[in-house]
Amino acid sequence: QSPLLVVDTLSVQFRLKTGQDLQALSDISFNLQAGETLGIVGESGCGKSTLARAILQLVTSTQGEIRWQGKPLNAHDKAGMKIFRRAVQCIFQDPLDALNPRMTVGDILQEPMQALRPELGKAAIRQRADELLQAVGLESGMRNRYPHEFSGGQCQRIGIARALGVEPQMILCDEPVSALDVSIQGQVVKLLADLQRERNLTLLFISHDLSVVRELSHRVLVLYLGRIMEIAAAESLYTNPLHPYTRMLLAAIPLPDPKLERERLAKVKVGAGELPSPLNLPSGCVFHTRCPQAQAVCREQIPALREVDGRQVACHFALQG
Ligand code: SF4
Ligand code: MG
């Protein structure tokens, strides 16, 4: 089966107002099969949102291309982009921010269907909006209420229902639960996981938190300073991370047991270091300034993303984990 989405040697560079160049993404290649959930993880400022925006053709790449169903995407091809915009819907971090405060929930859900699926007709669109409210665990009676009357978790459910309306093939979720209470995060993640299975959706799920994507990702891609560090099946990534940065992210997940959590914090303090500025990327392996295993070669040579144990890892010493 050929992939639904291919990102092929993509690089994005921004010229800042100060005249400096910011290398936001370097040499990113991965693909996504239909019906697959790929988690994209890394600290803030590592290029995750830029990658999402590049896929949506909202930022121009300096190198490489993105293919959708085998065809290169091109922001200038209006007809092609219209099909793509219907096939790919988005869910963002701040659910209330993404909903028009002056529209009722019913209208919010109907709007994308009216714009992208007018052939359905008014009555069917209205009925579908009610069904979608139920599909995300809300009541159809809520259609006449306004976004501010809902909690953050409910607003994100409305955002999910809106995204589903046009029957997308893929949903791009950029930190969809990061603004929610921890107690609510799990519920929304579970809803997305259930909808993914029921509707055979393809999900690209971005988070700075590895623990959030664990439940629903089939594979996980770890991004650091605009480069891929590791791509692996979720199970093997969590049980046997091969890249030192993946191990650092896993070590950063708080533990529920207070005693284990104290021990964890004591360890994390040792040499975790600051994220370098993307304006002044480290030479060689971009992770070398924080890597506990760094050797002299790491400062000089960029490690290629290569196959190790059925996954892809960019580390000169990945086998010595
Ligand atoms: Fe660490 Fe070197 Fe591997 Fe980079 S290449 S992750 S610095 S060991
Ligand atoms: Mg972001």
Distance CA(278)–CA(280), nearest Å, equals 5
> How far is ligand 2, taken at its centre, from the CA of residue 319, in Å?
31
Question: Given the CA of residue 316, which atom of ligand 1 is nearest to it?
Answer: 5
Question: Given the CA of residue 297, which atom of ligand 1 is nearest to it?
Answer: 2
Which ligand is closest in space to the CA of residue 53? 2
Which ligand is closest in space to the CA of residue 94? 2
pLDDT value, residue 260: 78
pLDDT value, residue 321: 44
- Tens-digit pLDDT profile for the chain (321 aa)? 899 999 999 999 999 999 999 999 999 999 999 999 999 999 988 999 999 999 999 999 999 999 999 999 988 888 889 889 999 999 988 888 889 999 999 999 999 999 999 999 999 999 999 999 999 999 988 999 999 999 999 999 999 999 999 999 999 999 999 989 888 999 999 999 999 999 999 999 999 989 889 989 999 999 999 999 999 999 999 999 999 999 999 988 877 777 877 777 766 654 467 889 999 999 999 999 999 999 999 999 999 999 998 899 999 998 744
Surface-to-core class of residue 64, CB atoms within 10 Å of its CB (0-12 exposed, 13-18 middle, 19+ buried): middle
pLDDT value, residue 74: 86
Q: Where in the chain are the domains?
A: 5-217, 239-321
> How far is ligand 1, taken at its centre, from the CA of residue 229, in Å?
10
Which residue owns the Cα nearest ligand 1 atom 5?
315
Distance CA(219)–CA(238), nearest Å, equals 10
Residue that the structure tokens 């600290």 belong to = 43
> How far is ligand 1, taken at its centre, from the CA of residue 281, in Å?
14
Question: Given the CA of residue 286, which atom of ligand 1 is nearest to it?
Answer: 4
Judge if the beta carbon of residue 294 lies within 6 A of ligand 1. yes
Helix, strand, coil tally for the chain in percent (to 5): 40, 20, 40
Structure tokens at 191: 């809803």
Q: Which helix (H) or strand (E) holds 155?
A: helix 152-164
Which residue owns the Cα nearest ligand 1 atom 6?
315
Is the CATH number of domain 5-217 3.40.50.300? yes
Residue that the structure tokens 């964890």 belong to = 264
ipTM of predicted complex: 0.97
Q: Is the Cβ–Cβ distance between 245 and 303 less than 8 Å?
A: no
Strands 71-72 and 63-68 turn out to be antiparallel
Partners of 30 in the β-ladder: 7
Q: What is the largest CA-CA distance in the chain?
A: 67
- Nearest-CA neighbor of 221 among 8, 29, 67, 22? 29
Judge if the beta carbon of residue 288 lies within 6 A of ligand 1. yes
Residue 299 — φ and ψ, nearest 5°?
A: -80, -15
Judge if the beta carbon of residue 286 lies within 6 A of ligand 1. no
